[in-house]
């Protein structure tokens, strides 16, 4: 599989332009590096491997990545490389305002420039929390030097009063239970202590676990990477093996563009359906595909994923958490089942240099309630439903496995919230004219509207409805939703309201028809009325006054194409300008 015969190796690596000679500049580069105590023979032309670390105490899900970086270094040294660790901006989902999504593209830019500008031949991407995974894959893809991802792994299961509680999912559930009177505030505070018991990312099949699974299904991580708990010793082994492997990937010149092919993205989309993965994967995979020049569209998600049964019984769609998924065999079992069902491009290459099928064909399922058979699937049709109609000309998405089946075909009266502040001001009002047959509509929460496209699409129901034991209503917005959330929630409605998409002109009392089986989302007004309202529409979201927010607002694309910056789409390669010394 190697592109190079042994006679051709060692070939001249790009790092030798910095370190491999006797000129003043070569001495300059080496001598400063040696202040870290590196022996001279480490600059003998061996592969120099960057370890791109999203460690940060402000990103608690990634706070253990320094330990993993040391394991990666061990592996790189063992294989004859020189590891050099460097930090990049770490977008932490649980802390950043207005939303971590606002910083995904910025992080990808940081990653891309850091890799290209430094004397690196390959890179290990240390990722974990939601946005860190797509951001690093996007940045690495735009440089296209050999790269391998290592996920931090999920937290141990949450445990409280003899029940398992999942990251995010339990938080949303308990918050609603407090509003409905089923749980006291003191209970809620007590449960807080039991939710996050160890290092690692969310333990549900939320966005972090989904993106770790997407990374593995794309072939950008070693097989088994997605599910190993953060504190399991095998997570450290995975890091060390990945360190060893990247050195050989550099020797083989095995690049992201060799791995992330159209077929690899199709494998990932089908995998997402099988695991009941997050709707956020739609946006992130579209953006990653754009960086490697793969023509992937929203419709691919529907066509490739609609007949995939969800077989992984994990919250928020199902019952278990990532620990059980790992003990059952993890993602390799799911990929094997896709292969057996004729739903896998078996010849797709992974970072191992082997085909994806060769990695999974011999694995076993150790718990068929956690990873179900197709006949006993959690949802016969998983995947992501892409809805279109006069309310979403460029599409909107819904996750059927997290929705209430009886609401998938529904006609209801719109109750409109102009933005998130309007929602917060009205939702607890006992006089709000709403019942469970209504459709809640939230505007101005898309990429430009919020800004950053916050995870507010799964807006909580009014307390007066919750008190009656009702847990779900149809909700529509241009926002995203946490991968740990659930409900009949229509998201990513495009074009977004802030740029005058039809969502912007929905009024209280309008009737809306949702028909998921027929993939339609229709605002029941005439074409003439639609045109008149759109003609009268004026933007309410202002351009930010300078700084990154202005750059974001000016250049962010729509959710339907991945919400990347227009000037970042594509691969720019690893060539870099001359030395300035
Ligand atoms: Fe970081 Fe969920 S908040 S992984």
Per-residue pLDDT averaged across 7-33, rounded?
89
Which pLDDT tens digit goes with each residue over 319-359? 999 999 999 999 999 999 999 999 999 999 999 999 999 99
Ligand 1: centre distance to CA 208 (Å): 6
Residues with CB under 6 A from ligand 1: 61, 93-94, 129-130, 167, 201-202, 206, 208
The mean predicted confidence, pLDDT, of the chain is 95
User: Is the previous residue joined to 316 through a cis bond, with omega within 30 degrees of 0?
Assistant: yes
Ligand 1: centre distance to CA 322 (Å): 13
Please choose from 55, 63, 130 the residue to mutate so as to test ligand 1's pocket, defined by most ligand atoms within 8 A of CB: 130
pLDDT greater than 90 at residue 441: yes
Ligand 1: centre distance to CA 411 (Å): 35
Q: Are 442 and 316 in contact (CB under 8 A)?
A: no
Which pLDDT tens digit goes with each residue over 500-538? 999 999 999 999 999 999 999 999 999 999 999 999 999
Q: Which atom of ligand 1 is nearest to the CA of 128?
A: 4
Render the burial of 121-145: b for 16+ CB within 10 Å, e for the rest: bbbbbbbbbbbbbbbbbbbbbbbbb
Residues of CATH 3.50.30.80 domain(s) within the chain? 385-541
Ligand 1: centre distance to CA 440 (Å): 27
pLDDT greater than 90 at residue 298: yes
Q: For 343, which DSSP code?
A: -
* % residues pLDDT > 90 (the chain): 91
Residue 460 sits at φ, ψ, to 5 deg, of: -65, 150
Which pLDDT tens digit goes with each residue over 311-330? 999 998 899 999 999 999 99
C-alpha distance from residue 464 to each of 114, 171, 367, 413, 488 (Å): 52, 20, 41, 17, 19
pLDDT greater than 90 at residue 541: no
C-alpha distance from residue 361 to each of 223, 228, 258, 334, 357 (Å): 11, 19, 22, 11, 6
Ligand 1: centre distance to CA 168 (Å): 8
Please choose from 94, 200, 482 the residue to mutate so as to test ligand 1's pocket, defined by most ligand atoms within 8 A of CB: 94
Which pLDDT tens digit goes with each residue over 256-287? 999 999 999 999 999 999 999 999 999 999 99
Query: Cα angle at 229 between 227 and 234, to 5 degrees?
Result: 95
Q: Which atom of ligand 1 is nearest to the CA of 167?
A: 2
pLDDT at residue 317, as a whole number = 86
Q: Whose CA is nearest to atom 2 of ligand 1?
A: 202
Considering only CA atoms, which of 219, 208, 370, 188 is closest in space to residue 292? Answer: 219
pLDDT-derived band at 402 (thresholds 50, 70, 90) equals confident
pLDDT at residue 8, as a whole number = 62
CATH code for 385-541? 3.50.30.80
pLDDT greater than 60 at residue 61: yes
pLDDT-derived band at 360 (thresholds 50, 70, 90) equals very high
Which pLDDT tens digit goes with each residue over 39-50? 999 999 999 999
138 alpha carbon, distance to own chain's centre? 11
Least confident of 96-110, 135-149, 478-492, 548-562: 478-492
User: Is the previous residue joined to 544 through a cis bond, with omega within 30 degrees of 0?
Assistant: no
C-alpha distance from residue 472 to each of 425, 437, 506 (Å): 20, 10, 21
pLDDT greater than 70 at residue 1: no
pLDDT greater than 80 at residue 96: yes
Q: Whose CA is nearest to atom 1 of ligand 1?
A: 129
pLDDT greater than 80 at residue 106: yes
pLDDT greater than 90 at residue 575: yes
Residue position matching structure tokens 């990929």: 335
Please choose from 56, 93, 170, 454 the residue to mutate so as to test ligand 1's pocket, defined by most ligand atoms within 8 A of CB: 93
pLDDT at residue 9, as a whole number = 63
pLDDT at residue 5, as a whole number = 56
pLDDT greater than 70 at residue 10: no
Per-residue pLDDT averaged across 478-504, rounded?
94
pLDDT greater than 50 at residue 166: yes
Q: Are 426 and 417 in contact (CB under 8 A)?
A: yes
Please, which residues have CB within 8 angstroms of residue 182's CB and are 6 or more apart in sequence?
none
Q: Which atom of ligand 1 is nearest to the CA of 130?
A: 4
Please choose from 58, 61, 284 the residue to mutate so as to test ligand 1's pocket, defined by most ligand atoms within 8 A of CB: 61
Strands (E), 200-253: none
pLDDT greater than 70 at residue 16: yes
Ligand 1: centre distance to CA 171 (Å): 13
Ligand 1: centre distance to CA 55 (Å): 13
CATH code for 46-155+205-375? 3.40.50.2300
Please choose from 54, 201, 203, 214 the residue to mutate so as to test ligand 1's pocket, defined by most ligand atoms within 8 A of CB: 201
Q: Are 153 and 128 in contact (CB under 8 A)?
A: yes
Ligand 1: centre distance to CA 120 (Å): 29
Q: Which atom of ligand 1 is nearest to the CA of 168?
A: 2
Residues of CATH 3.40.50.2300 domain(s) within the chain? 46-155+205-375
Ligand 1: centre distance to CA 233 (Å): 21
Please, which residues have CB within 8 angstroms of residue 552's CB and are 6 or more apart in sequence?
102, 105, 106, 451, 452, 544, 565
pLDDT greater than 90 at residue 131: yes
């Amino acid at each position: 599989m190697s592109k190079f015969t042994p006679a051709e190796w060692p070939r001249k690596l790009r790092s030798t332009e910095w370190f491999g000679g006797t000129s003043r500049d070569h001495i300059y580069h080496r001598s400063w590096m040696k202040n870290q105590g590196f022996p001279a023979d480490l600059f003998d032309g061996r592969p120099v491997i960057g370890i791109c670390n999203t460690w940060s105490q402000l990103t608690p899900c990634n706070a253990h990545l320094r330990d993993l970086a040391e394991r990666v270094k061990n592996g790189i040294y063992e294989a004859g490389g020189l590891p050099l660790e460097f930090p990049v901006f770490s977008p932490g989902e649980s802390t950043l305002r207005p939303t971590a999504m606002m910083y995904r593209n910025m992080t990808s830019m940081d990653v891309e420039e850091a890799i290209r500008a430094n004397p690196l031949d390959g890179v290990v991407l240390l990722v974990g929390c939601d946005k860190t995974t797509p951001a690093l894959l996007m940045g690495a893809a735009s440089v296209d030097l050999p790269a391998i991802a290592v996920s931090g792994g999920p937290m141990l299961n949450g445990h409280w009063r003899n029940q398992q509680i999942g990251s995010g999912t339990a938080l949303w559930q308990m918050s609603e239970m407090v509003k409905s009177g089923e749980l006291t505030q003191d209970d809620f505070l007590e449960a807080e202590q039991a939710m996050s018991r160890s290092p690692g990312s969310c333990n549900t099949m939320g966005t972090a676990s989904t993106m770790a699974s997407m990374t593995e299904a794309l072939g950008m991580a070693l097989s088994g990477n997605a599910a190993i708990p953060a504190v399991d010793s095998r997570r450290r082994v995975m890091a060390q093996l990945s360190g060893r492997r990247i050195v050989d990937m550099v020797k083989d010149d095995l690049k992201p563009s060799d791995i992330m092919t159209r077929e690899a993205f199709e494998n990932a989309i089908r995998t997402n359906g099988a695991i009941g993965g997050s709707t956020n994967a739609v946006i992130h995979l579209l953006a990653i595909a754009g960086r490697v020049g793969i023509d992937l569209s929203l419709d691919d998600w529907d066509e490739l994923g609609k007949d995939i049964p969800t077989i992984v019984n994990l919250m928020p769609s199902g019952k278990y958490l990532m620990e059980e998924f790992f003990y059952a065999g993890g993602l390799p079992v799911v990929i094997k089942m896709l292969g057996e069902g004729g739903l896998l491009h078996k010849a797709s290459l992974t970072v191992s240099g082997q085909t994806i099928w060769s990695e999974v064909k011999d694995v076993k399922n150790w718990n068929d309630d956690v990873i179900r058979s197709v006949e006993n699937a959690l949802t016969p049709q998983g995947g992501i439903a892409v809805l279109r109609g006069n309310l979403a000309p460029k599409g909107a998405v819904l996750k059927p496995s997290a929705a209430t089946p009886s609401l998938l075909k529904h006609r209801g009266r719109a109750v409109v919230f102009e933005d998130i502040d309007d929602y917060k001001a009205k939702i607890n009002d006992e006089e709000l004219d709403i019942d469970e047959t209504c459709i809640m509509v939230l505007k101005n929460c898309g990429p430009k509207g919020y800004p950053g496209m916050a995870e507010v699409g799964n807006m909580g129901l009014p307390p007066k409805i919750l008190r009656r034991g009702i847990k779900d209503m149809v909700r529509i917005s241009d926002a995203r939703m946490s991968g740990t959330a659930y409900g009949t929630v229509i998201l990513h409605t495009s074009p977004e309201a802030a740029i005058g998409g039809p969502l912007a002109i929905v009024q209280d009392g309008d009737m809306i028809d949702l028909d998921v089986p027929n993939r339609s989302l229709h605002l029941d007004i005439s074409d003439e009325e639609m045109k008149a309202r759109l003609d009268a529409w004026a933007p309410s979201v202002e351009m930010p006054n300078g700084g990154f927010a202005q750059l974001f607002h000016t250049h962010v694309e729509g959710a339907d194409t991945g919400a990347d910056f227009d000037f970042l789409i594509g691969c720019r390669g690893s060539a870099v300008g001359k030395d300035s010394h």
